Amino acid sequence: MAEVNAVIGYLPDATAKSLALGKGSKEPVEVRLDPDSGAYVRIQANDIAGVLLGASKKGQTGVQVFLNDKAQVETVSRALAADLRLWPIKDLTLYWPHRPPIVVIYAPPTRIRDLIAAQAKELTK
Q: What is the pLDDT of residue 84?
A: 65
Q: What is the 3-state secondary structure (H, E, C) of 47-106?
A: HEEEEEEEEEECCEEEEEEEECCCCCEEEEECCCCCCCCCCCCCCHHHCCCCCCCCCCCC
CA dist 23 → 19, 61, 72, 113 (Å):
5, 16, 20, 44
pLDDT classification of 47: cutoffs 50, 70, 90: very high
Query: Per mean pLDDT, which range of 3-7, 15-19, 68-72 is the poorest?
Result: 3-7
- Measure CA 55 to chain center: 25
Helix, strand or coil, per DSSP, at residue 18: helix
**Nearest-angstrom CA–CA distance, 43 and 36:** 19
For the chain, the domains span 6-77, 92-123
Residue 99: pLDDT over 70: no
Task: Work out the average pLDDT over 97-109.
Answer: 56
Higher pLDDT, 78 or 19: 19
Q: In this predicted model, what pLDDT tens digit does every residue of 50-96 receive, in sequence order? A: 899 988 999 999 999 888 888 999 988 877 766 666 666 666 555 55
**Nearest-angstrom CA–CA distance, 44 and 94:** 47
**DSSP code for 28:** P
Q: What is the pLDDT of residue 122?
A: 77
0.95 surpassed by pTM: no
**Contact indicator for 48, 65 with CB cutoff of 8 Å:** yes
Q: What is the pLDDT of residue 42?
A: 94
